[in-house]
Amino acid sequence: DAGVTQSPTHLIKTRGQQVTLRCSPKSGHDTVSWYQQALGQGPQFIFQYYEEEERQRGNFPDRFSGHQFPNYSSELNVNALLLGDSALYLCASSLFPGQGTTEAFFGQGTRLTVV
Amino acid sequence: DQQVKQNSPSLSVQEGRISILNCDYTNSMFDYFLWYKKYPAEGPTFLISISSIKDKNEDGRFTVFLNKSAKHLSLHIVPSQPGDSAVYFCAASRPSSNTGKLIFGQGTTLQVKP
């Protein structure tokens, strides 16, 4: 049973560029959430997708957008990259709240460096 | 606005002894709490959780205690092993409100010395 998989594992982009990160959730999970973890901090919630819709959003600008596909996989897009966007981006999969246990399982993350 | 706080950035204990990691929260609406462990270059790994209707949950060497009146939870690891050395995050959520959003603390780095 594959867990949560993310690609790529590392990425270097230039300021102003756009980036797309990908996530496949754990088998049986239908909800994908994205988190940003800056160095020395805990993960910060970006947004959550369920049934191909953004259900919740954290305090992130519109430059951060996402998508969920019918097979529950998800993409995180960041436009007009800033140096401050350099971080570890984590994808978490779970069941939608109220459908069972609420533990979220994380992928290994994508380390994004903006230069 | 840090709703979940881990006030100890680091903790060092001897192998075989107890490790106690602490976490405080400010939002009384949180009703589910989780602990995650994170090794370098890996994503967080789920350890143990507790619902607000309980005050204790055990899983092997790991026990989580919840004190709702104090808005405080702690993770006890007994006995501690060198492989437990990692960053530990506590997280809080409100699944009763159909929100799976996790609010994380800043993390505590645990070092278990052989």
Closest approach of chain A CAs to the CA of B18, in angstroms? Answer: 24
For B96, the 3-state DSSP assignment is helix
Burial of B67 (0-12, 13-18, 19+ CB in 10 A): exposed
Which residue type sits at A83?
Answer: L
- State the Cα–Cα distance between residues B91 and B52, nearest whole angstrom: 13
Q: Would you say residue B90 has pLDDT above 70?
A: yes
Among A90, A102, A108, A110, pick the best mutation site for testing chain B contact (most B Cβ within 10 A).
Answer: A102
Average pLDDT for residues B66-75, to the nearest whole number?
Answer: 97
Q: State residue B95's pLDDT score.
A: 74
Average pLDDT for residues B2-26, to the nearest whole number?
Answer: 96
Q: State residue A101's pLDDT score.
A: 60
Q: State residue A46's pLDDT score.
A: 97
User: Which segments in chain A show pLDDT lower than 50?
Assistant: none
CB-based contacts of B58, cutoff 8 Å, min separation 6: none
A residues 32-51 lying closer than 8 A (beta carbon) to B: 33, 35, 40-45, 48
Searching chain A, which residue's CA lies closest to the CA of residue B89?
Answer: A42
Closest approach of chain A CAs to the CA of B90, in angstroms? Answer: 9
Q: Please, which pLDDT band fits residue B99 given cuts at 50, 70 and 90? A: confident
Which residue's structure tokens are 């090794």? B39
- Strand ranges across the sheet with A5-7: A5-7, A19-24, A74-78, A64-68
Q: Would you say residue B2 has pLDDT above 90?
A: no
Among B38, B52, B102, B108, pick the best mutation site for testing chain A contact (most A Cβ within 10 A).
Answer: B102
- Strand ranges across the sheet with B56-59: B4-5, B19-25, B72-77, B62-67, B56-59
- State the Cα–Cα distance between residues A71 and A88, nearest whole angstrom: 24
Please indicate if any CB of chain B lies within 8 Å of the CB of A107.
yes
Q: Would you say residue B1 has pLDDT above 80?
A: no
Q: What is the pLDDT of residues B23-46, one digit of tens each?
A: 999 999 998 999 999 998 889 999
Among B7, B8, B101, pick the best mutation site for testing chain A contact (most A Cβ within 10 A).
Answer: B101
Query: Distances in Å between the alpha carbon of B10 and those of B19, B74, B106?
Result: 11, 14, 11
CB-based contacts of A66, cutoff 8 Å, min separation 6: A34, A46, A47, A49, A54, A74, A75, A76, A77
Q: State residue A105's pLDDT score.
A: 92
**Number of neighbours of residue B105 by Cβ within 10 angstroms:** 25
Cβ separation A103–B34 shorter than 8 A = yes
- State the Cα–Cα distance between residues A4 and A32, nearest whole angstrom: 10
Chain B residues with beta carbon closer than 8 angstroms to that of A106: 36, 43-46
Q: Please, which pLDDT band fits residue B66 given cuts at 50, 70 and 90? A: very high
Q: State residue A103's pLDDT score.
A: 83
